[in-house]
Structure 1
Amino acid sequence: MAKIQRRGQKGAAKNYITRTQAVRKLQISLPDFRRLCIFKGIYPREPRNKKKAAKNSQGANQATTFYYTRDIQYLLHEPLLNKFRDHKALAKKIGRALGRNEISDANRMEKNLTPKMTLDHIIKERYPTFVDALRDLDDCLSMLFLFANLPSTETVPPKTIQLCQRLTHEFEHYLIRSNSLRKSFLSIKGIYYQATIQGQDILWLVPYKFVQRVTGDVDFRIMGTFVQFYTTLLGFVNYRLYTSLGLVYPPKFDAKADEHGAELAAFAIEGRNVAAALDDKVEQPAAAPKQVSATAQAEADKLLELPSGEEPTSSYATAQENPSSNPKDEEEEDRQDGELDSFPAPIDPESDVLHQPTVSASTAANLFEPFTIYLSRETPRHPLELILRAFGCKRVAWDTVLGEGAYTSDEADRRITHQIVDRPNLPLPPVPVEDEETAAANASMRLRPGERVPGRIYIQPQWVWDCINAGKLLRADLYAPGATLPPHLSPWVKAKQGEYDPTKPLAEQENEGEALAAEADSDDEMADENAGSDGEEVDGVRGDGEARNLESKLLQQGGKEVVTGEGMDVELAESDDDEDEEADAAKDEEFGGFTEDEEESESEDEAARHQRELAAEADGRSLTADAGATPAKALRKKEAEKAQKAISRQRKEAQEETDRQKMMMSRRKRKIFEKMQYSNAQKDAEAEKLRGKRRKIEKGQAKN
């Protein structure tokens, strides 16, 4: 006889457990259970059938939270459970002491008997390798940078804010020393940064330094638990990163300089076994001396014996003399560290093009190296200082109002090559002519707001971000004070095929006949505006006062007939001329009549003309507006109409072919294909709308 399977011992009922059951099994409180799950990286799960997972039909509802049973069993052996229980026991003792009014005993127990929790073993457990920690660093940096900019409240203690600030500044120092920063973007939420560390791309968000208002609808207990875990993680990562560069961790911190706003300058970075501070160059870790082969030593001796004017032979000649050597290996050895490979363009133009890397370690280290940049008081000092130093600038100056640690605080210093300003370009009154002695005496004085120093380049802050995203120095005149800045585009958004790309010219993205049709529409709009602006009434249009007077006069005259039609009043010939009538009748008898095609084309032309007359009458436009158009406009309009007809014919043929192919599909595939067509049509319409906006902007700029 087979063994009887009891209910709840198999399937979803065995694999899932509710939160209430998990808390009872672990014998801890619900807040401690939440903290433990955050530390261990255990999250709720959604079963396919909640009724089966809850073991009965009544216990499952929308608010029930389920976990994997194996995850809860895994938590039974966690050392932090003992710490949580010790906390609970201590809380009972302190409450009992306070109930007996023994305040000194309660303070003593809280100070001496509070158990200390460390999360080091959890960090090593969740991240067995350093690359795993780097991959999970995005949320860590975003959270810590957020708490570093929050004000201190009851829920956010000052010690937590100071710890977050110290760890984030240490990480920024590593970015500066290793030139690991690659891209940055100014958004509404804040400033996005991306760094490449040991082949891993790390992206995080830093909020702007505005006054933050802490609301009550945010649960800072949950966020504080994440901060406690992330501070431990970033401390491990910073230690590993500093030691990889041969630097001492933690760096020396000057509290007095930090109180005066030094920020990054409050840290003194030192190398191992070196008493003095290192220079701004990155110090590589000391490596064991390598043994030089005899062949390489012989080649070096030959080069030393060559005369000063003679050059060594080429790699091809060396390869002919020594066939065992590989020129590719020599090129790889000669290549500098941090250089990026460039991918050749594919032969097939329709194939996918590999993205060419723009910023390498060597580019980041030398982009702003030859410059001395001064930051005006209205510019954001900290993000600009970080980006400039991370991309090679060793001389960053600012006013003393922004804090300590500047290269120089004299705005009139002649060594300054670039000045970043973010104020309008206001005209200044002329400066009186001074003698050489007076000019030399006033050279070190503070400049007036908006005063320019001859020979210095003035730029707006966006120039720095656009330069690092492009990987090269851009034209400074496009970012001059008061100039209309180029669009600041996200470096991570790459336009796909068929979508609007703001970096490419408009002519490369337009569809066939789109420009001609848009130009014809703009000409029609201008003609309508001109016709409406004149305000003149046209004779013969039904509804005009002068047309009615003219009609009544013609009706009173004798010998003439006036036929009133729709849109125009046409005066016919005199009825007394019988000879003309006979001649017309003879011509009609001689004429054999129209063919069917001619009759159809004539009727179509009359219908189109009649439709245009009705539209013109309804809009109040002049019927002779087309007659006054220039030949160039008329030619463009005809070309646009021809192109539009050809495009509509092609679309119709393509639609017919698509319909024939859809008939061979199954119902399911046909529905999917129709959804795909609908989404593609929406994307094309949105791209065409954006191109139309750009076309109007470019036309307006061309007119100005």
Structure 2
Amino acid sequence: MGKIKKKGTSGNAKNYITRSQAVRKLQIPLPDFRRLCIFKGIYPREPRSKKRASKSSTPSTTFYYTKDIQYLLHEPLLEKFRDQKALAKKISKALGRNEVSDAARLERNLTPRIRLDHIIKERYPTFVDALRDMDDALSMLFLFANLPSTENVPPKAVAKCQRLTLEFEHYLIRTHSLRKSFLSIKGIYYQATIQGQDVLWLVPYRFVQRAGTDIDFRIMATFVEFYTTLLSFVNFRLYTSIGLVYPPKLDAKSEESGAELSAFQLENQGNAGQAEVAEALDTEMHSKAQAEADRLLSLPEAEAGTAETGDVQAEALTAGDEPTAVDEPASTTLDQFTSLDPNADTLLQPSLTADVYTASQLFESFTVFLSRETPRHPLEFILRAFGCKRVGWDTSLGEPGAYCSEDDMRITHQIVDRPDIPLPSPPLTDGGLDTDDEDGPAVARKTNERIPGRIYVQPQWVWDSVNAGQLQRADLYAPGATLPPHLSPWVKPKKGGYDPTVPLAEQETAAEAEADSEEDELEADEALEEASDGEEIEGVRGDEEARELEDEVIVDDGMDVELAASDDDEEDDILDTKAGAGIDEWGGFSGDEAGDVDESTREARAHQAELEAEALGHMPQSGKNDAKKQAREAAQSKRTKAEREALEDVERRKLMMPRRKRKMFEKMVYSNAKKDEEAERLRAKKRKIEKQGGKPKAG
């Protein structure tokens, strides 16, 4: 007889463990267990069958892998948490005995310091792994950098987040690594390419933040504690890889005055205070270091080749060499992939050098001034990251760091976000406005007038130029002008979908175009039918004009009507022919003569009947419209028949499919139909805007 198998010793019951069991096994309180899981990157798991995974009759909701909890048993932070708990008991006893000085001494001397360095090294074995996980870290730190300090958000955490994020932005400015940016409702999205890895993060707008009561700041503070350690490591590696001293020096007075980016002073390693490191480079040693870096990058096992640039520079510095120039991008050669099949799709080859050169040259030749109503920090960051070295702003936004004032004649572009700015008024005398003589000061210029010689644009011009990779037309972004659509640079239009950059006539289907034409005709017909007798409608004469025309009409037995001052050449020819033939009376056609009437005569009589109806203010009965309507209905019925036959063919093919493939096909058809409906809805919205006379979204 075999051994009886005990319940809960294999399968899901062994692979999963509940949260309560994990807390009891680790012997720590629940808040510390949450902190530890966040630091170590351990998340709850969902078993296939909760009933089988649970060891008790009560259904549990949160499960973890048993191996993950076993991995936490040897974590050094457990001792720190237990020391904190023991210290909290001692402090509470001292306060209970009213020994305040002893409690302060215990807290000051015995508080354990928690370091997360070993956790960073465990979770990110290579530097590229850390860069791939920077999206959430940057979004969280930029969020806390813009929050006001409260009871839940200490001011030290806010200041640390601000310092780390500004250091990261300085690296992007020096290396021109920023690629795209997008203004959304949530905030401003940025994307940078750092050592071949695309990093995307979100920065909230600088509005007055009001924290809700349903936010657990303890959990968020734990993430901030981990992310600040991670970003400190990343900033150190990035700064040393380009030969800069980390951390950069911070001018406290400038920071208090609102300098922000200008409050940091970057220094180069080995030669602090020099403006240009490239002048002191030793050509021979630099070439050796560059050759060594290229050799390491060419090795197949160098997975994170660009991440090892800092190590190569550190070795070069120990040998007496200088680091590479900061302003010059690293000459990293990328592999080129060639297709063996000439008929295959061509792959886009990466080009880091071209992107860096484009970013560094986009705004390099401009001197930009930011008006006081524009967001200064995002504009300054983007302009500097794309080559602009001369950015000025109003003193109300922060006096230190500004390159020039608004009256500086070197300014080429001024970014404003206000209604149209008028041109300056002409001078009162023959002299100029800014004449300054001994009798009195110069005439003050009005602040709401343009300065000749500079270009005024709205802030969106900067973002659209960055996303397009080239400067956009400045007249489209003039103050007070209706701006072009600001589209996301990461959403690419798909075939059959709605594309706001393409005109509506090029992307709408034949059925939509036909339905639109039918709707226009129906609206025109309804407008004519509902019009009153005395109302003037475009294309229809009113009663007053009809009475005037009746006086000038020559009627022969009530049939032939001749309108005075008619512009219709065909009508004049017919009437002149009748008058020349001497036809005074017409008694109608006989049976034989009716068949001899040609088509032109019938069209002339029909046209004459329409003119009579227009003169009387009635709606004309047009045979051409009826013919168009019949042709349209015939085409619609033909198209409906073709669609019905295609649908029947698809149904027959579905009967031959296996059940699994048929379900997949139905899901695909459903999703495609949803996308088509959404695209059709957007095109209808754009069509409605164009009919109302408003500016379309695009196209």
Q: Into which bin does the TM-score normalised by the smaller protein fall?
A: 0.7 to 0.9
1:274-313 deviations in Å (ceiling 9; x for gaps): 2215469999999944469xxxxxxxxxxxxxxxxxxxxx
Question: What is the aligned partner in structure 2 of residue 487 from structure 1?
Answer: 485
For the residues of structure 2 that align with 1:703 and 1:213, how far apart are their CA atoms?
A: 36
The 8 Å contact of residues 459 and 481 in structure 1, kept in 2 or not, is answered as yes
The 8 Å contact of residues 117 and 229 in structure 2, kept in 1 or not, is answered as yes
AA of the residue aligned to 1:22:
A
Over 3 Å counting, the alpha-carbon distance change for 1:286 and 1:237 in structure 2 is farther
Over 3 Å counting, the alpha-carbon distance change for 1:352 and 1:446 in structure 2 is farther
> What are the residue-to-residue correspondences of 1:391-540 with 2, within 5 Å?
391-425=386-420, 427=422, 430-434=425-429, 436=431, 439-441=434-436, 447-512=445-510, 514-534=512-532
The 8 Å contact of residues 422 and 450 in structure 2, kept in 1 or not, is answered as no
AA of the residue aligned to 1:650:
A
AA of the residue aligned to 2:67:
R
AA of the residue aligned to 1:31:
P
Question: What is the aligned partner in structure 2 of residue 212 from structure 1?
Answer: 209
674, 680, 687: which one aligns with 1:682 = 674
The 8 Å contact of residues 364 and 387 in structure 2, kept in 1 or not, is answered as yes
Q: Does 1:60 align with 2:52?
A: no
Q: CA deviation at 1:181?
A: 0.5
For the residues of structure 2 that align with 1:415 and 1:639, how far apart are their CA atoms?
A: 67
Paired residue secondary structure (1:495)? coil
Q: CA deviation at 1:356?
A: 8.6
Q: Point out the more displaced range, 68-77 or 156-165.
A: 68-77
Over 3 Å counting, the alpha-carbon distance change for 1:55 and 1:291 in structure 2 is closer
AA of the residue aligned to 1:374:
F
The 8 Å contact of residues 245 and 269 in structure 2, kept in 1 or not, is answered as yes
> What are the residue-to-residue correspondences of 1:54-93 with 2, within 5 Å?
54-56=54-56, 58-61=57-60, 64-93=61-90
The 8 Å contact of residues 131 and 199 in structure 2, kept in 1 or not, is answered as yes
1:529-561 deviations in Å (ceiling 9; x for gaps): 233233689xxxxxxxxxxxxxxxxxxxxxxxx
AA of the residue aligned to 1:420:
I
Paired residue secondary structure (1:439)? coil
1:31-71 deviations in Å (ceiling 9; x for gaps): 11110110000111111222221223x1324xx31111111
The 8 Å contact of residues 423 and 450 in structure 2, kept in 1 or not, is answered as no
AA of the residue aligned to 2:169:
E
Q: CA deviation at 1:22?
A: 1.0
Paired residue secondary structure (1:196)? strand
Over 3 Å counting, the alpha-carbon distance change for 1:41 and 1:336 in structure 2 is closer
For the residues of structure 2 that align with 1:414 and 1:676, how far apart are their CA atoms?
A: 61
1:95-137 deviations in Å (ceiling 9; x for gaps): 1111111110100110111111100010011000000000000
The 8 Å contact of residues 257 and 400 in structure 2, kept in 1 or not, is answered as no
> What are the residue-to-residue correspondences of 1:9-408 with 2, within 5 Å?
9-56=9-56, 58-61=57-60, 64-276=61-273, 278=275, 288-290=285-287, 360-408=355-403
The 8 Å contact of residues 421 and 479 in structure 2, kept in 1 or not, is answered as no
Q: CA deviation at 1:237?
A: 0.1
For the residues of structure 2 that align with 1:701 and 1:347, how far apart are their CA atoms?
A: 50
TM-score by length of 1: 0.75
The 8 Å contact of residues 425 and 450 in structure 1, kept in 2 or not, is answered as no
Q: CA deviation at 1:666?
A: 4.0
Paired residue secondary structure (2:193)? strand
AA of the residue aligned to 2:96:
G
Paired residue secondary structure (1:151)? coil
> What are the residue-to-residue correspondences of 1:633-652 with 2, within 5 Å?
640-641=632-633, 643-652=635-644
Over 3 Å counting, the alpha-carbon distance change for 1:257 and 1:406 in structure 2 is closer
Paired residue secondary structure (1:360)? helix
Over 3 Å counting, the alpha-carbon distance change for 1:650 and 1:437 in structure 2 is closer
Q: Point out the more displaced range, 647-656 or 168-177.
A: 647-656
Q: CA deviation at 1:481?
A: 0.8
TM-score by length of 2: 0.75
Paired residue secondary structure (2:223)? helix
The 8 Å contact of residues 369 and 393 in structure 1, kept in 2 or not, is answered as yes
The 8 Å contact of residues 434 and 442 in structure 2, kept in 1 or not, is answered as no
The 8 Å contact of residues 178 and 190 in structure 2, kept in 1 or not, is answered as yes
Aligned residues: 572
| Aligned-pair Cα RMSD in Å | 3.5
For the residues of structure 1 that align with 2:71 and 2:456, how far apart are their CA atoms?
A: 61
Q: CA deviation at 1:511?
A: 1.9
For the residues of structure 1 that align with 2:685 and 2:494, how far apart are their CA atoms?
A: 20
Over 3 Å counting, the alpha-carbon distance change for 1:228 and 1:253 in structure 2 is same
AA of the residue aligned to 2:390:
R
Q: Does 1:627 align with 2:621?
A: yes
Q: CA deviation at 1:695?
A: 3.0
Over 3 Å counting, the alpha-carbon distance change for 1:125 and 1:250 in structure 2 is same
Over 3 Å counting, the alpha-carbon distance change for 1:336 and 1:20 in structure 2 is closer
Question: What is the aligned partner in structure 1 of residue 317 from structure 2?
Answer: none
Paired residue secondary structure (1:490)? coil
1:568-627 deviations in Å (ceiling 9; x for gaps): xxxxxxxxxxxxxxx99xxxxxxxxxxxxxxxxxxxxxxxxxxxxxxxxxxxxx997462
Paired residue secondary structure (1:205)? strand
AA of the residue aligned to 2:399:
E
1:237-294 deviations in Å (ceiling 9; x for gaps): 00000001100000000111000000000000111112215469999999944469xx
Paired residue secondary structure (2:192)? strand
The 8 Å contact of residues 141 and 165 in structure 2, kept in 1 or not, is answered as yes
Question: What is the aligned partner in structure 2 of residue 653 from structure 1?
Answer: 645
The 8 Å contact of residues 175 and 390 in structure 1, kept in 2 or not, is answered as yes
Over 3 Å counting, the alpha-carbon distance change for 1:356 and 1:512 in structure 2 is farther
The 8 Å contact of residues 339 and 360 in structure 1, kept in 2 or not, is answered as no
Q: CA deviation at 1:517?
A: 3.5
Percent identity at matched positions? 63
1:625-658 deviations in Å (ceiling 9; x for gaps): 46269x6x77876665555344323322212221
Q: Point out the more displaced range, 155-164 or 431-440.
A: 431-440
Question: What is the aligned partner in structure 1 of residue 574 from structure 2?
Answer: none
The 8 Å contact of residues 246 and 284 in structure 1, kept in 2 or not, is answered as no
Over 3 Å counting, the alpha-carbon distance change for 1:342 and 1:208 in structure 2 is farther
The 8 Å contact of residues 139 and 202 in structure 2, kept in 1 or not, is answered as yes
Over 3 Å counting, the alpha-carbon distance change for 1:279 and 1:447 in structure 2 is farther
Task: Give unpaired runs (5+ residues) of structure 2.
Answer: 290-329, 536-589, 592-615
AA of the residue aligned to 1:470:
A
Over 3 Å counting, the alpha-carbon distance change for 1:447 and 1:280 in structure 2 is farther
AA of the residue aligned to 2:673:
A
Question: What is the aligned partner in structure 2 of residue 694 from structure 1?
Answer: 686
For the residues of structure 2 that align with 1:347 and 1:500, how far apart are their CA atoms?
A: 32
Question: What is the aligned partner in structure 2 of residue 301 from structure 1?
Answer: none
Task: Give unpaired runs (5+ residues) of structure 1.
Answer: 293-334, 538-582, 585-621
The 8 Å contact of residues 246 and 283 in structure 1, kept in 2 or not, is answered as no
For the residues of structure 1 that align with 2:436 and 2:334, how far apart are their CA atoms?
A: 49
The 8 Å contact of residues 181 and 195 in structure 1, kept in 2 or not, is answered as yes
The 8 Å contact of residues 410 and 444 in structure 1, kept in 2 or not, is answered as no
For the residues of structure 2 that align with 1:26 and 1:635, how far apart are their CA atoms?
A: 86
Q: CA deviation at 1:678?
A: 3.1
The 8 Å contact of residues 191 and 198 in structure 2, kept in 1 or not, is answered as yes
Paired residue secondary structure (2:434)? helix
AA of the residue aligned to 1:376:
S
